[in-house]
Chain A
Amino acid sequence: MRIMLNRRERREARLLAVWRPLMVQSLAENIQHYPAVAKPDIPALLNLWNHFQESLRGDAKERLNRLARDAAMDKMALTMLRRRRLSERLLAMMTLGHLRDKSAWQILTDFLGDDSPILSLAAARALMQIDAAAAVVVFMPLLEVREDWPPARVASLLKEAGAAIISGPLTALIRQAPQAQLPRLIHFLDLAYSDASSRLVREMLETSHDSQVLAACLRAMNDARDLDLARRQLQHPDWPVRVQAAAALGRLGADVDRVGLARLLTDTQWWVRYRAAQALSQLPFVTTEQLHRLMAEQTDRYARDMLKQVIAERPA
């Protein structure tokens, strides 16, 4: 086994020694001749090419694509995509995505429904890279049902597609999604255009009575015109909503919010007191002296302790 492994490593090292300089060279000039690639070396070659793709930006990616097409890497990837091995399929999807190879569209769309979250999300990413606008149409409805898709990976995908592409479909999806799915989906609103997300957040804050939805909306709130909606939630019976209301006032609030936030300093929940104190500290033009005065006015020990901590956290 050790002998086979060493042999494979040596083989890969030889391949890298030839192809790495070629790939670097291709960023500056057109390459005329490519060395032949033996079948067992194809995964290592595609892996190297993808490493370059993931590390580069702008024109360089397009130059690498030219090199890949000239060296028939697109065909290699398409063949690999039909194999059963997970790692080969993932590598093929990644390659075809970077290449924006439309001929793979149908087979990638089929993979979107695969039970494996790794495979289905890799297919989604490739589709987004090939044609983000068209991919969003098939991807968004799945977002509602695929609870197994890790939010961090979905967020990366949506971020890569860009706010211009996702804002409309995402807000449309949230508008018609069942109540249980809303908190999860609302988190993605951060990645949409602020005007589109603000409108939706406003509507939901006005109509929803679900604590989780309210907390998610307050977390996504980014328009100061909606502050009254946040102020309304400062006394909500569920503390996660109060936490997010205080945090929203800290981000967007004004001088008039001092009284409401000061009231939360005596809340029974530590996080509410902390966010309220932080929000007070973040309000525009609030000085450390003013916070000290506010602390002196407090009769509640917990309120005083929290203000003391937040004052100490303020940058000098």
Chain B
Amino acid sequence: MNFIDVITVGEWLFLLYFIGMNTGYLMLNMLSLVSLSGLMRANSVAALPQAYSGFEPPISLLVPAYNEQATIAASLHSMLQLSYPQFEIIVINDGSKDQTLDVLRREFALVPFPEAYRARVATKPLRSLYRSTIYPQLRVIDKENGGKADSLNAGINASRYPLFCAVDADSILQRDSLQRVAQPFLEDARVIASGGTVRIVNGCTASGGFLEKVDLPRNPLALMQIVEYLRAFLFGRMGWSPINAMLIISGAFGLFKKEAVVEAGGYRSDTVGEDMELVVRLHRIYRLARKPYRIVFVPDPICWTEAPEDLRTLKNQRIRWQRGLAESLSMNFRLLFHPRSGAVGWLAFPFMMLFEWLGPLVEVTGYLFMLLIYLFGVISGQALWVFLFIAVGFGLLLSVSGLLLEEMTFHLYPRGRHLLMLIGAVVLENLGYRQLNSVWRLIGLFRWMFRSRAHWGEMKRKGTWQGK
């Protein structure tokens, strides 16, 4: 095989990879389309007012907090107003260096509480436990810094109810968020976890911790992330859910059966992707033990979060996410093609591995390779254009289909201006933003390979959506 043959093989491999990846996503899109339209039809009637049956399982809301002095009080006030028959809130102050604990003490009239704490999952030492004298359902754990996973484990240990919901301290919820995410547990006893769609709050208006008006951000980075989230949630997750192969539940808002998580050993604190790792591990344990279970996606937009608006924060976030993905998959490698692993091990895991884990490596190499061989005159300009057409054109098609799903279902951005802005973002997103993302993800992949130290992701927040 001479040099030109090697180049031709490489050229075809990259081309086939891009075609394979995008075809895979398009198939997921089709699956989502079918299940979403069914769900929306059933939801139109389910949305009618209904009384609680008294059979709703009580929920423990776990809110890990690290340096959240600016937003924690407002977030908790909104969480306390959630409509659900019975729930408690446990805030876990993970050794914050700011005034988070003081704000909590002052705002919620905390008093030390002699809890008979049960350490079912190992965590960093606890300093103290508090209970609010205003809201009996609110407790605060003050502990030594151990990361988000460690905090969630401490919350699990202190929780009293059979279901727990992990919520980010800066999440904006809707009044019926808990009700919606708990619905799968009411309908199917096999459900061990459910997660909802996370949407971007930038550009919207929120007041009292609840969303008031949906709008689009002016910041182009945030706008492109909206398109990205539509793609990730509306078909990235909705596509896998009907075949019980969804590998991620967002750490911003996910509901779990406590006993299932405790039996699995709780969250792992040696990964930055603790949310995904837990879900993949639950799949592994249940599949391999042949235990019946369901991990379900609720497509309704029930949690809103702020997206980074500057390149540095976005870069750090994407590096962390990629690293988390690599850790989650590598820690549960036994699932891959295991005879008992079903759709998870034979479809979702290899798909995730090939197109998400190794994706950035192939994508960046592919772009560079094609560009180089074009510059050295090995391929024609026409061949380069075919490659770019496939790589970018398919990407555009996928983003448009994400937007289409949103239009067909929740239709949260109703104005003509919104649609135009989103179409603009779809185009821009594929002309540079996605490629930049691939480079950041590649860095994440390298950091995972070289095991560099990971820590709580610090997020630069603007909070312009917050009402006065």
Interface set of A (CB-CB < 8 Å, partner B): 1-2, 5, 47, 50-51, 54-55, 85-87, 90-91, 94, 117-118, 122, 148, 150-153, 155-156, 159, 187, 190, 270, 273-274, 302, 305-306, 308-309, 311-312
Contact = CB atoms under 8 A, between A and B. Distances in A.
Nearest to B41: A87
Nearest to B54: A155
B45 A152 contact: no
Give 3 closest A-B pairs by Cβ, nearest first. A87-B41, A152-B55, A156-B53
Contacts of A85: 41
Q: Chain B interface: which size bin?
A: 20 to 34
Given A302-B116, A309-B115, A312-B114, A155 B55 contact: yes
A54 B48 contact: yes
Contacts of A94: 45, 48
Contacts of B186: 150-153
Interface string B35-69: 00010011011001111011110000000000000
Nearest to A94: B45
B408 A1 contact: yes
B53 A152 contact: yes
Nearest to A309: B116
Contact of A5 (B45, B55, B411): B411
A118 B45 CA distance: 10
21 contacts: A1-B408, A2-B416, A85-B41, A86-B41, A87-B42, A87-B45, A90-B45, A148-B188, A150-B188, A151-B186, A152-B56, A153-B53, A153-B186, A187-B55, A190-B54, A270-B116, A274-B116, A306-B116, A311-B114, A312-B113, A312-B114
Contacts of B49: 51, 54-55
B131 interface: yes
A1 B48 contact: no
Nearest to A270: B118
B404 interface: yes
Contacts, number: 78
B135 to A, nearest CB: 14
Given A118-B42, A187-B55, A309-B114, 12 more contacts: A1-B407, A2-B416, A50-B48, A85-B41, A94-B45, A150-B186, A150-B188, A152-B186, A159-B53, A309-B113, A309-B115, A309-B116
A153 B183 CA distance: 11
B372 to A, nearest CB: 42
Contact of B114 (A122, A152, A273, A305): A305
B16 interface: no
A42 B407 CA distance: 23
B116 A308 contact: yes
Contacts of B416: 2
B187 interface: yes
Contacts of B50: 54, 156
Interface in B379-410: 404, 407-408
B242 to A, nearest CB: 15
A2 B115 contact: no
B419 interface: yes
